[in-house]
Chain A
Amino acid sequence: MKRAEPLTQLQSVEPNTGSPPPPPAMTPENKVAAPAEARSLLATAWMRIRRSKVALLSLCVVVAILLFAILAPVLSAMSGNDPYTSNTSPEVLDDFQTPGLPLPGYMYPSAQHWLGVEPGLGRDLFARLAHGGQVSLTIALLSTAVSVVLGTVLGAAAGYFGGKTDAIISRIMDLFLAFPHLLLVLSLTPILQSRLRDTPLGEGSFLPMASLVIILGFFGWAYLARIVRGQVLSLREREFVEAARSFGASHLSVLFRQIIPNVMGVVLVYATMLIPTNISAEAALSFLGVGVKDPTPSWGQMLNAAQSGNWYLSDPWFLAVPGLMLIITVLAFNLLGDAVRDALDPKSSR
């Protein structure tokens, strides 16, 4: 702690000669003592993102979607509905020709049901979409966080310590990358759920969320770890690391206080790109029936509901609502990820 001040100064005045230049560290000391060009990572990213219309637009859409999910209870209360109450009365759902199909006044958006109602159970689609977004995005963000922590720490450790540590971690990475991701995640999720059932994580609607976060997080770190490892391999030869070592800093302290802050740029880029992957993965697993299950809504569960019983053929709107939401969300996150990469990695150009 005492040694931190001189070290970060050393690091911030150090000329950017390496390739690619590591982004400046995000330590508080840095902001105070650093010369003008050493802006914080997020500030640099923001500076560059602001210049691109596509990037700005996708950032706005991402923020709007996050707000939509966070405010789900408020929004559905405003619309006067909740995601769980079913209404199968013959005024809402067809009773004769196609039993369960919403009648025209209820199938599409109206003042009472902002996005219409579900076929079969007559639950409010807007409330389910908003609450489902909460579930889908929570799973995607938490599993990304798990992967990012694992990938950064393991990748940095492999690159920094080298030798046997590197050999072991690298072989594990290779193995993780060899497995067909979706298939493995798909077959292990029910197994993990059976394990978690009797633990505090296994309660009701919490179980599928917890198991998806664990599984997606645990199987998503290898690619990031490989990238971080590559960066650290060149970082550890730099003067500021040597300086820190000569001041007597322990390996762990160098790893966490000098090395990892310097790879945060790459980590941020890959984290932004992992989020849409995990949103799609949640949708895929719940769609296949091993993730989030009815009555808990998620965007994947809603797609599953649209396919089961072939409802999407008689009520295409029921497929369009979660489908479009999913496409817009994944697209916005992907474009934002591209923008963050372009902003932070000067080598990449599209």
Chain B
Amino acid sequence: MMTFILRRTGSLVLLLAAVSFITFTLFQLGPSDPAAAACGQECTPERVAEARVALGMDQPFLVQYIDYIRGFFSSRMIGAPGAQTLCEWPCLGKSFQTNENVADIIGRSLPYTFSMAIGALVLWTITGVGLGLLAALRKGTPVDKFIVGAASVGVSLPIPVTGLFLLLLFVNQLHLLPFTTNEINSPFGPQGPGAWVANYLLPWIALAVLFSASYIRVTRTNMIETFGEDFIRTARAKGLAPRTVTFKHGVRAGITPVVTMLGMDIGLLLGGAVLTEQIFSVPGLGFTAVHAAISGDLPVTMAITMLAAFFVIVANVAVDLAYAAIDPRVRLQ
């Protein structure tokens, strides 16, 4: 087990380094001139040249990359020689728009993204696994066909359409829920958990509709497969109650692929649900990234993309390790 952990962690570090390097390359070498983006609308050639020095872009590319990575581990000075400012740890550069430390911008957005992710996750896991299990138990009946059909429709519903429709119906027409506000980003705030749920319920539903559809499919397929296996027949034959067979034996064995999916989706969602945050004006990572991308705020988009990729990779490795802990056969491959 120990070697497996070490090997996976080693590959994790390598992958993170590769991802950070690629993101950095894409964002530094991609734009025709990041310095022009940094200096904004009214820009003279001299000011572009100044901006280039201030961004450290007169340095060789590898030096720039190493400087950037150094900021992950300690505070560093950035800016032109003579006009340097301290960029406190963790330093991810400074916003072109507000000159604010990018790490602060990300820190401010994270609670919103967490609020979005946690509720959506709970909602779609319950509905996805529940309905998938129900469909598998009632295989071939109208109930099953209805659930499978609903899942097909569910994966085809684009978030912008569902999101705007939910806002129109529940907020504008029925007045059941308030428009989302920026003031609530945790269930422990002064407004209490009720207001938190009311604030995020619609974004959760919008995300859950899309995600639970694929969970229904995976759960159903795997449960049907599991229910057909010998150990289930044995359990039934020795006279166990159907409920015990279904939940204690069946679900436990058939749920593992769902756990994999869940791990990866958590990673994905922590990087920001771009569309949902935009529709419901929730200022999380995705929302921040959209606005930074549109206004050409490279340090912010770069840092968020890198962070989101980190989340995905770490989630993948976490799933692998959890698997290896549960199932010893995995360690051998």
> Which residues of A come within 8 Å of B, CB atoms?
171, 174-175, 178-180, 182-184, 186-192, 194-195, 197, 276, 280, 283-284, 287-290, 300, 303, 306-307, 312-313, 316, 319, 323, 326-327, 330-331, 334-335, 338, 350
Contact = CB atoms under 8 A, between A and B. Distances in A.
Contacts of A300: 160
B261 interface: no
A190 B160 CA distance: 20
Contacts of B22: 175
A307 B308 contact: no
Contacts of A338: 152
Interface of B: 15, 18-19, 22, 26-27, 30-32, 37, 148, 152-153, 155-161, 164-165, 167-168, 172, 221, 268, 271-272, 274-275, 278-279, 286, 289-290, 292-294, 296, 301-302, 304-305, 308-309, 311-313, 316
A197 B36 CA distance: 15
A288 B152 contact: no
A295 B152 CA distance: 33
Given A283-B158, A323-B165, A327-B157, A182 B275 contact: yes
A194 B155 CA distance: 33
Contact of B268 (A180, A284, A331): A180
A83 B26 CA distance: 37
A276 B32 CA distance: 32
Given A190-B294, A191-B31, A180 B312 contact: yes
A187 B18 contact: no
11 contacts: A179-B305, A180-B271, A182-B275, A189-B293, A191-B30, A195-B32, A197-B32, A287-B275, A323-B158, A323-B160, A323-B164
Given A192-B30, A194-B32, A179 B312 contact: yes
Contacts of B27: 187, 191
B18 A175 contact: yes
Given A195-B31, A276-B156, A288 B312 contact: no
B19 A319 contact: no
A312 B172 CA distance: 10
Most chain A CB atoms below 10 A, which of B27, B279, B294, B302: B294
A327 B272 contact: no
Contact of B160 (A189, A303, A331): A303
A290 B293 contact: yes
A319 B304 contact: no
Q: Chain B contact residues: over half helix, strand or loop, or mixed?
A: helix
B31 A194 contact: yes
A276 B153 CA distance: 13
Given A300-B160, A319-B168, 12 more contacts: A171-B18, A183-B272, A183-B286, A186-B274, A187-B292, A187-B301, A190-B294, A194-B32, A280-B158, A307-B164, A323-B158, A334-B152
Given A195-B32, A331-B153, A190 B158 contact: no
B31 A180 contact: no
Given A179-B312, A182-B274, A288-B290, A326 B158 contact: yes
Given A180-B268, A183-B272, A334-B155, A312 B161 contact: no
Contacts of B15: 174-175, 178
Most chain B CB atoms below 10 A, which of A190, A303, A312, A334: A190
Contacts of B157: 327
Most chain B CB atoms below 10 A, which of A283, A287, A307: A287
A190 B278 CA distance: 17
B19 A178 contact: yes
B290 A178 contact: no
A174 B289 CA distance: 23
A184 B305 contact: yes
B161 A183 contact: no
B197 to A, nearest CB: 23
A319 B164 contact: yes
A326 B26 CA distance: 32
A169 to B, nearest CB: 14
A312 B279 CA distance: 12
A155 B22 CA distance: 21
B19 A175 contact: yes
A87 B152 CA distance: 40
